[in-house]
Chains A and B, each alone.
Chain A
């Protein structure tokens, strides 16, 4: 049905199809088209021209490089789109995978904190040994005794009046779990007193331990190291790996 409005709108249809109208004109044309079949029909022809204009430029081949470049981008393009070949459950799967990854990260952090604590304890122990050794070395009456064993050696650093001493060893084999090294101090009567248990240092050729003794180290006549069940024994039961006379 033609109306007066058509006379105003129809001359703009060509420009409308080309998207050349300014905004106010565009709005007016759109409003009119919604209710005017005659103008809708006229627009069809202009739309067809606009479509055809897309195909009007004479076909022209790009460089063959474009084809290979495009091929190399196909995978990435589809992945980043996440679109077509990706079934709908993937986002949920991705979420689950993400959560699992987070959990793993947390567990690994926990584990790292744990190992850091272990490491800290070890370092603190080393520090204690070193400081003890250093303080012992500063006493004028401190003595050093060489310990001997099969392919194992060590030094024993003690001050006769003190109730502690430092044992440095090298060549100690790591023990199976459930076993520990135990140091013994030998009284002149031949009885043995435990000086403490320790493990071979897995990170170093050397193992150091501070021995705490029930009396001044000068009261003892000898020193030994044996392999004992973890936690130590009341008297030596295992093979002796090191010994020394004081």
Chain B
């Protein structure tokens, strides 16, 4: 057993990829460092998808346990640890949603619902990454309700075109069009945003500009 219990505590600026290697060796301190660094995002996603804190905590726990037991399976070339972790979290949450046949709360589904959660978090990731996510968040918030709703139902609740059409009582074509338009706008917002120091104001302006552009053919 190569439990590295006697190893040095990992320093706070150690890269994720180094930490995850130490986790693969059974280093608990490295694991907890990863937990502290990313739990707020994992939990936020789980809470967003499941809508209640108890289930979100269970999914968060399962996701981190998976990192603990499968750290060796992580391949840095295929993406960041955070996106691996969040993909695991999404899959866990979708499993739970399907298992419990949860119906999404269609009318309340909004990304902003949980924004009154516990404040004062250190922002994970670098400043420029954080700025891009914030841009996307704004872009999503700025979407017409109908478009935002189908994107969230698809990605956070695992629904397909035809399932959404049934649940929302909308023609299939309408659902498809809304997803397409919404995703095109988000892509423009995401791809168009350059890392910048002056984030939120510019992000909003950019999104608004792109929105007006997107209306054109």
**Is the beta-carbon distance between B155 and A60 smaller than 8 angstroms?**
no
For B1, the chain A residues whose CB sits under 8 A away are 85-86
> A residues near B, CB below 8 A?
11-15, 17-22, 25, 45-46, 48-63, 66-67, 69-71, 73-74, 77-78, 81, 83-86
Tell me which residues from 28 to 49 in chain B have a Cβ below 8 Å from any Cβ of chain A: 28, 31-32, 35, 39-41, 43-45, 47-48
Q: Indicate if the CB atoms of B179 and A20 lie closer than 8 Å.
A: yes
Chain A residues in 8 Å Cβ range of B104? none
| Chain B 35-75: CB-based contact to A (< 8 A → 1; otherwise 0) | 10001110111011000010011001100110011111000
A residues near B24, Cβ cutoff 8 Å: 84
For this complex, 15 residue pairs linking A to B, each with C-beta atoms less than 8 Å apart, are A15-B180, A18-B155, A21-B160, A53-B151, A56-B111, A56-B140, A58-B44, A59-B124, A60-B40, A60-B43, A60-B44, A62-B57, A70-B64, A74-B31, A85-B1
Contact between B53 and A62, CB atoms less than 8 A apart: yes
Inter-chain contact B160/A20, CB cutoff 8 Å: yes
Option from A20, A49, A62, A66 in Cβ contact (under 8 Å) with B187: A49
CA distance A62 to B53 in the complex (A): 8
A60–B137 alpha-carbon span in the complex (Å)? 15
> Separation in Å of the B55 CB from the closest CB of chain A?
11
When the two chains form their complex, are residues B68 and A78 in contact, meaning their CB atoms are under 8 A apart? Answer: yes
B contact residues, total (Cβ < 8 Å): 70
With both chains docked as a complex, state the minimum distance between the C-beta of B167 and any C-beta of chain A, in angstroms: 13
- Pick the residue among B69, B79, B86 that contacts A77 (CB under 8 A): B69
Chain B, 136-194, CB within 8 A of any chain A CB = 136-137, 140, 150-151, 154-155, 158-162, 164, 176, 179-180, 182-184, 186-187, 190-191
Which 6 A-B pairs give the minimum distances between C-beta atoms? A14-B183, A20-B154, A59-B40, A54-B86, A57-B44, A60-B117
Neighbouring B residues of A52 by C-beta, 8 Å: 132-133, 136, 190
Docked-complex contact B190 and A77, CB < 8 angstroms: no
B38 (CB) vs chain A CBs: closest residue: A59
**For A20, what are the chain B residues with a Cβ–Cβ distance below 8 Å?**
150, 154-155, 159-161, 164, 179
Kindly report which residue of chain A lies nearest to residue B118, judged by CB atoms.
Answer: A61
Q: Which of B133, B158, B191 contacts A19 (CB 8 A)?
A: B158
Given contacts A14-B180, A50-B155, A60-B118, contact A55 B43 (CB under 8 A): no
Closest B residue to A14 using CB positions: B183
Assess the B69–A83 pair: CB atoms within 8 A: yes
Please report the C-alpha to C-alpha distance between residue A111 and residue B56 in the assembled complex, in whole angstroms.
55
Whether A57 contacts B114 by the Cβ 8 Å rule is yes
Q: Which residue of B lies closest to A56 (CB)?
A: B137
Which B residues are in CB contact (< 8 Å) with A53?
Answer: 136, 140, 151, 155, 186
CB distance from A80 to the nearest CB of B (A): 8
Contacts beyond the supplied A15-B176, A20-B160, A78-B26: 20 A-B pairs with Cβ under 8 Å:
A13-B183, A14-B184, A15-B179, A18-B155, A19-B154, A20-B150, A20-B155, A20-B164, A48-B187, A48-B191, A50-B155, A52-B133, A52-B190, A55-B41, A56-B133, A67-B35, A81-B69, A83-B72, A84-B25, A85-B26
- The smallest C-beta distance from A71 to any residue of chain B, in angstroms, reads 7
Bound together, the chains give a CA A85 to CA B22 distance in angstroms of 11
The answer, among B41, B136, B179, for a CB contact under 8 Å with A14, is: B179
Residues of B within 8 Å of A57, CB to CB, are: 41, 44-45, 47-48, 111, 114
In the complex, what residue of chain B is closest to A80 when comparing beta carbons?
B69
The answer to whether the Cβ of B115 comes within 8 Å of any Cβ in the partner chain is yes
Task: Tell whether A56 pairs with B43 under 8 Å between CB atoms, given A18-B155, A18-B179, A78-B69.
Answer: no
Asked whether B79 lies within 8 Å of A51 as measured between CB atoms, the reply is yes
Contact B123 A85 (CB under 8 A): no
Asked if B3 is an interface residue, CB under 8 A from chain A, the answer is yes
CA distance A53 to B190 in the complex (A): 10
CA of A128 to CA of B50, assembled, Å: 77
